């Protein structure tokens, strides 16, 4: 049975004990199994409070982390790449302390409109870097994901197939492919085929509409997507992700090019999203 999650940014751009309590409360009342906590800076994350809230409300935790322009594994500058590795190792520890066992996101680069192709040196050193990250994850009991981003938000890993190459070459046990339908809908030839081709290393799925709004309001072929997940017997988490600038604030909205307000009521959208997930999972499994 897939655990169904809700992304923290659907409710709040801040993560602290007060905002976190509201997110966990809403998730529990709506019937979600887990909350994905996006860590902008692991040093600022209150892991103990998050774990306590998870236990209080009986809702699990997964985490996400992005590189930054000054801590970026894909940067040709060895010092910036080193800081990127340190950031991910720190985030692994925070994920463990939150009581989570999976950390996804674009661990390999910043969310940024890069203006040139990645350097060959960056590709060459990735197996070594992710080997060390996999070892850090194993020590902490945390699996580390690679979320393929579209070409406008990263120049490095743009397809789930590229992510799978690194995972398979390094450590399928402690690394995983993190598929996000919003990004996949831009970069992949066919969503169902792409998911099927990485079935052996697919560990986490972001369900997001093509316009990052309400599920069903875009052009994603949901029957095809959930049919593929059923055929490959995908058992991992499925987390609903949607953004609205009134919640995320202008900085994040600018970062991802969120120029329109797709919705204004997060609770309504979260409830509708969970119904959408359950309906299509049931249909795909023939229930």
Active-site position among 36, 147, 165, 209: 147
d(CA 36, CA 59): 10
**DSSP strand pairing (4-7 vs 143-147):** unpaired
Q: Is 188 helix (H, G, I), strand (E, B) or coil?
A: coil
Note the Cα 63 to chain centre separation in Å. 8
Q: What is d(CA 276, CA 191) in angstroms, rounded to the nearest whole number?
A: 18
Judged by DSSP in three states, 261 sits in coil
Does residue 241 have an active-site annotation? yes
The active-site residue, picked from 36, 153, 188, 241, is 241
* b/e map 211-239, b = 16+ CB within 10 Å: bbbbbeebebebeebbbbbeebebebbbb
State phi, psi for 2 to the nearest 5 degrees. -70, 135
122 vs 77: CA distance, rounded Å: 9
d(CA 239, CA 14): 19
Q: How far is the first Cα of the chain from the last one, in angstroms, to the nearest whole number?
A: 13
CB 64 within 8 A of CB 107: no
- Whether the Cβ atoms of residue 102 and residue 63 lie closer than 8 Å to each other: yes
Burial of residue 86 (CB within 10 Å: 0-12, 13-18, 19+) is exposed
Burial profile 135-173: b = 16 or more Cβ within 10 angstroms, e = fewer: ebbeebebbbbbbbbbeebbbbbbbbebbbbbbeebbbe
- What is the set of active-site residues? 147, 241
């Amino acid at each position: 049975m897939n655990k169904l999650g809700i992304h923290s940014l659907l409710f709040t751009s801040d993560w602290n004990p007060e905002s976190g309590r509201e997110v966990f409360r809403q998730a529990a009342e709506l019937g979600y199994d887990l909350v994905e906590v996006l860590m902008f800076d692991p040093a600022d994350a209150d892991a103990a409070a998050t774990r306590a809230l998870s236990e209080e409300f009986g809702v699990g935790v997964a985490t996400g982390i992005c590189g930054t322009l000054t801590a970026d594994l894909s940067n040709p500058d060895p010092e910036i790449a080193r800081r990127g590795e340190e950031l991910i190792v720190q985030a692994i520890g925070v994920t463990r302390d939150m009581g989570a066992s999976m950390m996804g996101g674009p661990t390999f680069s910043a969310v940024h409109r890069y203006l040139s192709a990645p350097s060959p040196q960056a590709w060459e050193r990735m197996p070594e870097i992710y080997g060390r990250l996999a070892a850090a994850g194993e020590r902490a009991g945390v699996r580390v994901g690679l979320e393929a981003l579209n070409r406008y938000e990263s120049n490095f890993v743009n397809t789930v197939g590229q992510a799978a190459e690194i995972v398979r070459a390094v450590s399928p046990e402690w690394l995983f492919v993190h598929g996000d339908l919003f990004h996949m809908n831009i970069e992949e030839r066919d969503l169902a085929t792409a998911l099927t081709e990485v079935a052996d290393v697919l560990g986490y799925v972001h369900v997001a509409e093509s316009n990052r709004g309400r599920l069903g309001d875009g052009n994603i072929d949901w029957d095809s997507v959930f049919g593929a997940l059923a055929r490959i017997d995908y058992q991992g988490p499925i987390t609903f992700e949607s953004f609205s600038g009134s919640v995320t604030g202008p900085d994040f909205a600018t970062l991802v090019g969120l120029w329109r307000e797709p919705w204004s009521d997060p609770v309504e959208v979260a409830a509708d999203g969970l119904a959408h997930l359950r309906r299509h999972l049931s249909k795909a499994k023939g229930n």
